[in-house]
Amino acid sequence: MRLSAVVVACILVIPHDSFAQGTTADGVRALFQGDRAAAERILKPLAEDRPDYDPLAAFFLALAYQFRGGEFSDSTRVCGLFLKAATPANPLMPQAVTLAAAIHQNHPWMLNNCALAVGRGWGTPQWTTLVLGPEHRVRIHEGGFTVTFNGAETQTREGWGGAGWRFLPIRLTSVAPAGGGLRHFVEIFTWIPHSPDDAPLWSLAWFAYEVRGTDVVRLEGSPSVSRHVGQQPPASFQVDDAAQFAYDSNGVLQRIVVGDLARAVPVETERLR
């Protein structure tokens, strides 16, 4: 079904006074007009960024995310928003329940993640631009990577974010092999909860990408490098105590994990695929 048809059908069953909060109405209007970017910009602060969220804004923000088309979106985020919208204060509560159920289909894993999205929100990194050299930069944003190198620019699609995820600052690590130039790695660390309970298990995930020229490749391997039990992840954490790049005695660059999840994984040196 086309987005406009969905929005029209929903608007027809909303009492007029439900649009007393003008910004929600503005977001719905933008969505109806096909301007999803504007709709998300208007509705997100009302639905995701405040404890006293507007359930109607949550409903239409879920629609905006769901109908992004070929752009990156996450069904868990959409499901969580529909569940947030499924309150008696929302005239579209029955529709929200139905649309959420169409996503989670009562699957335990999906239900758990939808519940996490409701209770702990949706986490994304703090977007940033990293300088690799005088004519070499990488901008990390919601859609992935934008790399500029010697006047050329390349987009690499990637998506980050998850239910309840708590991201640490993105960092750049540059290492110098013997007799070679610098190798540049973008590192993204995030705490991931595994239960919506008050004292869940958290895993610290390490996502690493190498930037070569305008190319970006994600390094393979299990991302989990540490664990924590508690209502919230640690307020501060020294990632070098758990994960780092280092050369072994043979000059092979490795991703090193220390502690209970200790392991060493060689970093691919072949030409990027």
Which of 120, 143, 162 represents a domain boundary (last residue)?
Answer: 120
Q: Are residues 216 and 82 part of one domain?
A: no
Q: Are residues 157 and 145 part of one domain?
A: yes
Q: Are residues 136 and 113 part of one domain?
A: no
Residue 247 lies inside a defined structural domain of this protein: yes
The DSSP secondary structure of 51-65, one letter per residue, reads SS--HHHHHHHHHHH
How many domains does the chain contain in total? 2
On the question of pLDDT at 233 being above 80, the answer is: yes
Q: Are residues 106 and 229 part of one domain?
A: no
On the question of pLDDT at 20 being above 50, the answer is: no
Q: Are residues 105 and 173 part of one domain?
A: no
Residue 93 lies inside a defined structural domain of this protein: yes
Which of 101, 120, 139 represents a domain boundary (last residue)?
Answer: 120
Q: What is the mean pLDDT of residues 220-230?
A: 91
On the question of pLDDT at 2 being above 80, the answer is: no
Residue 149 lies inside a defined structural domain of this protein: yes
Report pLDDT for 12.
47
CA 172 from centroid of its chain's CA atoms: 19
β-bridge pairing 122-123 and 128-133 = unpaired
Residues forming a β-bridge with 205: 190, 224
Distance CA 85, CA 48 (A): 11
Q: Are residues 133 and 259 part of one domain?
A: yes
Residue 100 lies inside a defined structural domain of this protein: yes
**pLDDT tens, residue by residue, 57-115:** 999 999 999 877 655 558 999 999 999 999 998 999 999 999 999 999 999 989 988 98
Report pLDDT for 226.
95
The DSSP secondary structure of 147-181, one letter per residue, reads EEETTEEEEEE----EET-EEPPPEEEEE--TTS-
Residue 271 lies inside a defined structural domain of this protein: no
Domain assignment of residue 41, given as a range: 3-120
Distance CA 10, CA 206 (A): 41
Neighbours of 53 (CB within 10 A): 19
Least confident of 60-74, 111-125, 229-243: 60-74
Q: Are residues 134 and 104 part of one domain?
A: no
Q: Which residue has the higher pLDDT, 153 or 15?
A: 153
Which of 91, 120, 149 represents a domain boundary (last residue)?
Answer: 120
Global pTM reads: 0.81
Q: Are residues 12 and 45 part of one domain?
A: yes
Residue 272 lies inside a defined structural domain of this protein: no
**pLDDT tens, residue by residue, 163-222:** 899 999 999 999 987 667 789 999 999 999 987 666 679 999 999 999 999 999 999 888
Q: Are residues 69 and 20 part of one domain?
A: yes
Q: Which residue has the higher pLDDT, 151 or 74?
A: 151
Q: What is the mean pLDDT of residues 232-242?
A: 90
Q: Are residues 39 and 145 part of one domain?
A: no
